[in-house]
Amino acid sequence: MNGILVILVLLALGYAFGSGAERRHYKSILEREEALRRVMVFSARVPPDLHRWRESRLVSGSVCVSADYFKAFVAGLRGLVGGRVTSYEGLLDRARREAVLRMKEEAQRLGPCKIFNVKIETASISKGGENALGTVEVLAYGTAVAD
Amino acid sequence: MLLTNLEVVPGRRVVEHLGLVQGSTVRAKHAGKDILAGIKNVFGGELRAYTDLLQESREEAIERMVAQAQALNANAVLNVRFSTSSVAQGAAELFAYGTAVRLEDAP
């Protein structure tokens, strides 16, 4: 009985804090994406008009996020029936966009620039733990080129 | 030392390829921080302690890669890649590799 109560409390806490945090995070992501719109990001391996650029530098951004208890629980249920795990889709989407934003913020300090050959890498860093998909790290990196 | 993940460098040309250089580091999480992260797993959100830890470790991996490149008399590392793998519970390996080259200003 106590066990069920604890789980219910954790679920409620996870839901309350997790969904609030997700909303706030999306709001901040949208604001910063708007502000950093001028830093353009490309996955092209080689910048066109290569010899126009004088400066180049590796830039990166990373973020480590964890699912809340509610999300992990919903994903666990979803694991029984299969299908889209929307609770984790949002988590990974936020993590990737955050990593790209941090990379852009680093690049912006160099002045006006464009970022080429962007790679995004996702690693689960709680492998072997009880909730295997609990914590993920996303790293975005690329080369910023400037005049 | 110029680091880039492009295969060419604007305004410069490669005069010598010196081969693959790499750097890696394996880091374990601090037990106290791990407990805090466990609490964070209930509420969700960013684990800033982990973000910083992994960033620091990645910088160390880059430093080791750069040291190898310097030993080869390189002045740039091209096509840098990163990879992260969790080797055991609570420990992660951060790995950086690239091609060491010597660059000269293009005429």
Tallying the residues shown for chain B, one arrives at: 107
Q: What does A5-39 look like in DSSP terms, one character per residue?
A: HHHHHHHHHHHHHHHHHHHHHHHHHHHHHHHTTTS
Q: Residue ranges per domain, chain B? A: 2-105
C-alpha dihedral, A84 to B50 to B86 to A143, nearest 10°: 80
- What ipTM was predicted for this assembly? 0.85
The percentage of chain A sitting over the pLDDT mark of 90, rounded to a whole number, equals 37
Cβ of A117: how many Cβ atoms within 10 Å?
Answer: 21
Using CB atoms, which residue from A55, A71, A124 is nearest to B86? A124
Domains of chain A, CATH where assigned: 2-146 (3.30.110.70)
Report the residue of A6, A120, A143 to disrupt the B interface, i.e. the one with the largest count of B CBs within 10 Å.
A143
Give backbone dihedrals phi and psi of A126, rounded to 5 degrees, phi first. -120, 35
Beta-carbon contacts of B46 under 8 Å, excluding residues fewer than 6 positions away, are A63, A64, A65, A66, A98
Contacts of B86 in chain A (CB under 8 A): 123-128
Over residues B31-56, the mean pLDDT reads 78
A129/B106 touch (CB, cutoff 8 Å), yes or no: no
Q: Are A53 and A147 in contact (CB under 8 A)?
A: yes
List, for residues A70-120, the tens digit of each pLDDT value: 888 888 888 888 888 888 888 899 999 999 999 999 999 888 889 999 999
Contacts of A119 in chain B (CB under 8 A): 5, 81-82
CATH number for domain B2-105, candidates 3.30.110.70, 3.30.2290.10, 1.20.1070.10, 3.30.460.80: 3.30.110.70
Count of H helices and E strands in chain A? 3, 4
Angle, to 10 degrees, between the axis of helix A69-81 and the axis of helix B31-43? Answer: 70
Question: What does the pLDDT read at residue A147?
Answer: 80
Q: Are A53 and A97 in contact (CB under 8 A)?
A: no
A65/B37 touch (CB, cutoff 8 Å), yes or no: no
- Does pLDDT of A132 surpass 60? no
- Does pLDDT of B35 surpass 80? no
> In one letter, which amino acid is B97?
Y
Question: What does the pLDDT read at residue A88?
Answer: 85
The two tokens of residue B93 are 């390996």
A142/B51 touch (CB, cutoff 8 Å), yes or no: no
- Using the CB atoms, write b or e for A63-89: b if 16+ within 10 Å: bbbbbbbbbbbbbeeeeeeeeebebbe
B50/A58 touch (CB, cutoff 8 Å), yes or no: no
